[in-house]
Amino acid sequence: MKKKLIPCIYLKNEKAVAFFSDNTIVENNPLELCRRFSEYGADELLIFDLSKGDEEHERSLDVIKEICQNIKIPVIGAGNVNRMEDIKKLLYAGCKRAVLNYSKQSNIDITKEVSDKFGKSKIIASVKTSEEFEDNRELIETYTKTVLIHDINILRSEGFADSNIAYISILPEASLDKIIEHLRADRAEGITGEVINENYKEYKQIKELVGSYDVPFSTFKLNSDGLIPVITQDFKTGEVLMLAYMNEEAYDKTLKSGLMTYYSRSRKELWLKGETSGNYQHLKSLSYDCDADTLLAKVDPDGPACHTGATSCFFNDVVTYEFEEKNPLEVLNDVYSVIEDRKVHPKEGSYTNYLFDKGIDKILKKVGEEATEIVIAAKNPNASEIKYEISDFLYHVMVLMVEKGVTWDEIMTELSRR
């Protein structure tokens, strides 16, 4: 299990404050605070919404949404949860997971409902005492995957020690040695709290000290130079970006920092991708092939992979045979781009431009008509008819998306969160 450093952000009046009971403003722009933590190597963010009233709560959700859209690491949403709708709002704002407060009966009561709807991996149970855990142990273990521990004494209680559930502990003031000790515990998913916020400049050092990973570098078959090739791929599009090499030090630094680090054969030194250009590659997954002699890294790139400015280093064709693109996202993005271009560069006689000229009401009318055509086609015994109607529907939906400025990337991100 990867051990996570999870700083806390407490939102009050759209600003980051010091703590639950301390409203001292530590950052007027919470997004900048989150960026700071992310840049130093945080693995996830825990955001507590301390707002009062519906209006302030909605503004806090807007702040959380902005953070989720602009930060590369996952966000855990917490606070101001009273009903299932509140969990839905946090997840739809972009949070990877949401917290149920087990000091509130209303949160305990909705555990099964939110777990069944969104999945147990999306739900974290927050407990402040060993009694809260033991009284609700069966519910927590059945419908959640992780517990947020507010008091480290809970870890020593008999009921909790007997459980197998993973946990995130909120640490009080602690030395670096204690932080390492807590992270190394078998069931510890991560640690959070003020001590993690205050030591953000030490994140890389902490990760260095935590220890090895499940797959040591000795697992791999290396070439004659003691290196292993790494194929790097965009995790969203599947496009192959580049080929590079790693030695053991580059491998360790990549795993501990979450940023792709290679070994430059020409310079004979470590190469943190993006250190000069700013085009960092954030690691999403790393796997190796059946022969254990090649690594595949799926990354979220900050910019082009190639030093020429090209998205991918593979842009020189040797031979290209005619083929139809079948990658669903590529097809949708290609059609979307054509529609987008029609809006910017109108073409006489274009049906797409006719829709844009008629405006939103006409576009919505066509979307509704095409949706109805799908329903009718689905009742037809000829199953092939429905694919034509769905294609027409998707085209008109994409016209609507372009009109409203919504991209497929945003849609795919939203779908993946569900």
Q: Are residues 278 and 373 in the same domain?
A: no
127 vs 388: CA distance, rounded Å: 52
Residue 243 confidence (pLDDT): 98
Among residues 182, 210, 238, the one where a domain terminates is: 210
Rounded Cα distance between 230 and 272, Å, is: 14
Please tell me whether residues 252 and 372 are part of one structural domain: no
Domain assignment of residue 188, yes or no:
yes
Q: Which two three-digit tokens encode residue 322? A: 């005619």
Provide the pLDDT for residue 113. Answer: 96
Assess whether 92 and 142 both reside in one domain.
Answer: yes
Instruction: Tell me, yes or no, whether 202 and 225 share the same domain.
Output: no
**Whole-prediction pTM:** 0.73
Q: Are strands 269-272 and 261-264 parallel, antiparallel or unpaired?
A: antiparallel
What's the domain count of the chain? 3
Domain presence at residue 317 = no
In a domain, 192, yes or no: yes
pLDDT value for 407: 92
Q: Do 37 and 124 sit in the same domain of this protein?
A: yes
Compute the C-alpha angle 53/55/56, nearest 5°. Answer: 70
| Pairing state between β 15-17 and 25-27 | antiparallel
Give the end of a domain, one of 167, 186, 210.
210
Verify that 252 and 121 share a domain, yes or no: no
**How many angstroms separate the first and last alpha carbons of the chain?**
23
Residues 142 and 276 in one domain: no
- Residue 239 CB burial class (10 angstroms; 0-12, 13-18, ≥19): middle
Cβ atoms of 256 and 207 closer than 8 Å: yes
Domain assignment present for 23: yes
Which is it for strands 75-78 and 45-49: parallel, antiparallel or unpaired? Answer: parallel
Q: Is residue 321 part of a domain?
A: no
pLDDT tens digits, residue range 72-82? Answer: 899 999 999 99
**Cβ count within 10 A of residue 270:** 15
Q: How many CB atoms lie within 10 A of CB 268?
A: 8
Q: Check whether residue 42 and residue 70 sit in a common domain.
A: yes
Using CB atoms within 10 A of its CB, is residue 382 exposed (0-12), middle (13-18) or buried (19+)?
A: exposed
Whether 306 is in a domain gets the answer no
Looking at the structure, tell me whether residues 222 and 294 fall in a common domain: yes
The pLDDT tens digits for 367-406 are 999 999 999 999 887 777 898 899 999 999 999 999 999 9
pLDDT score at 205: 84
Same domain, yes or no, for 60 and 150?
Answer: yes
Residue 338, domain CATH: 1.10.287.1080
- Residues 173, 194 contacting (CB under 8 angstroms): yes
Within-domain flag for 251? yes
For residue 335, tell me if it sits in a domain.
yes
Closest CA relative to residue 206, chosen from 180, 244, 239, 178: 180
User: 347 and 339 in contact (C-beta within 8 Å)?
Assistant: no
- CA geometry: angle at 293 spanning 288 and 298, to 5°? 35
Domain boundary among 175, 210, 245: 210
Nearest 5°: the CA angle 24, 49, 56 is: 90
User: In this structure, are 10 and 151 located in the same domain?
Assistant: yes
Residues (pLDDT < 70) of the chain are 1, 211-214, 321-326, 417-418
26 and 44 in a single domain? The answer is yes
CATH of residue 226: 3.10.20.810
Contacts of 55 (CB under 8 A, 6+ apart): none
Phi, psi of 4 (to 5 degrees): -110, 140
Tell me the CATH number at 165: 3.20.20.70
Tell me if 139 sits within 8 A of 115, measured CB to CB: no
Q: Which domain holds residue 156?
A: 4-210
Q: Both tokens of residue 347?
A: 């073409």
pLDDT at 3: 87
3-state secondary structure the chain: CCCEEECEEEEECCEEECCCCCCCEEECCHHHHHHHHHHCCCCCEEEEECCCCHHHHHHHHHHHHHHHHHCCCCEEEECCCCCHHHHHHHHHCCCCEEEEECCCHHHHHCHHHHHHHHCHHHEEEEECCHHHHHHCHHHHHHHCCEEEECCHHHHHCHHHHCCCCEEEEECCCCCHHHHHHHHHCCCEEEEECHHHHHCHHHHHHHHHHHCCCCCCHHHCCCCCCCCEEEEEEECCCCCEEEEEEECHHHHHHHHHHCECEEEECCCCEEEECCCCCCCCEEEEEEEECCCCCCEEEEEEECCCCCCCCCCCCCCCCCCCCCCCCCCHHHHHHHHHHHHHHHHHCCCCCCHHHHHHHHCHHHHHHHHHHHHHHHHHHHCCCCCHHHHHHHHHHHHHHHHHHHHHCCCHHHHHHHHHHC
